[in-house]
Amino acid sequence: MRNTTITDIAKKLKISASTVSRALNDYPDINEETKNQVKMLAKKLNYWPNPIARSLKSNRTNVIGVIVPEIKHDFFSSAISGIEEVAYHSGYTILVCQSNESYDREVINTNALMHQRVAGFIVSISQSTTNGDHFKALLDRKIPLVFFDRAFDQLPAIKVVIDDAKSSCRAVTHLIERGYKKIAHFSGPIAMEISKQRLKGYKNALKKANLPILNELIRYGGLQESDGYASMDALIKENVIPDAIFAVNDPVAIGAFQRINEAGLKIPDDIAIVGFSNNKITSLIEPPMTTVNQPSYEMGEKAAEILIEMIEKKKTHNENKAIVFEAELVVRKST
């Protein structure tokens, strides 16, 4: 059975379709009696407005496109909750896509959401994104764009982030203050900005403590549990055993944690370990893991607030600006 249309309502009431449309949208030039008749019949016929047709007419919707690397990790699911809460109270809904850490999938998601005529984008890029042409296409079309956590810094766009270098320096300094000196760093993709900044913070802490920066203790990989496992496995096989590890994020730290346990080494007696993001699992494992807490929910809220302001004010340009949140070191038994 086909859906009821404005034309169907107009025919039954013997008025024009434009009058029905104005009545449903409470235009002041339509009298109250006509409005009531239209709305009652629309309800009786189970009429629902067609958002696609409406967006074609207005060239926009009240939908915000959100693209994240993965929904399963606590940081992104919490950030999405913050985005949705602000969007809901502002009369918007969100449409969430995950790139699954794939550049190609991120491009497909971006194009699909753009063709859905979303009002704006909130994005955290994938670990394999080194080309921002798909985001530039949004800016060229004057579609508002806000990055959070992982930004594509080569484009003039607002980003909601933490100070990764400062937070990492604080985490490694904590290890040094606990007496650890041979500290390894399991980094993320070399080209990714958060990897660069967290590596920078690691090196800054060692320099301040006059400790050597040893290339053999710096391992590059991805951002998954398997990457942390592989990095720790390589060190064990090379017989290069650090007394502490600072990981680029919690999943990498969890992977290293697993391999350390398999090797019969004790945490923190043999090897201490620090993660980054404060995923829920870090407080549930034994021993609980020290990590850096990113205010993910608040970051999502702020990204949504900025984007909606851009949409409402019809800003046709983006500015290169960073909104920086404070992160907190959460000390637990793994150090």
Q: Specify whether the CB–CB gap between 106 and 100 falls below 8 A.
A: no
The DSSP bridge partners found for residue 290 are 274
Every domain of the chain with CATH number 3.40.50.2300 lies at 61-162+296-325, 164-293
CATH architecture of 61-162+296-325: 3-Layer(aba) Sandwich (3.40)
pLDDT in tens, 290-321: 999 999 999 999 999 999 999 988 775 667 88
Mean residue pLDDT across the chain: 92
Q: What angle do CA 73, 160, 173 make, to 5 degrees?
A: 75
Domain 164-293 fold? Rossmann fold (3.40.50)
pLDDT at 249: 97
Q: Quick check: pTM over 0.85? A: no
Using alpha carbons, select from 294, 282, 302 the residue that is nearest to residue 327.
294
- The 10s digit of each residue's pLDDT in 52-93 is 555 555 556 789 999 999 998 899 999 999 999 999 998 899
Average pLDDT rounded to a whole number, residues 216-230:
96
**Cα–Cα distance list, 42 to 10, 15, 34, 153 (Å):** 10, 14, 12, 49
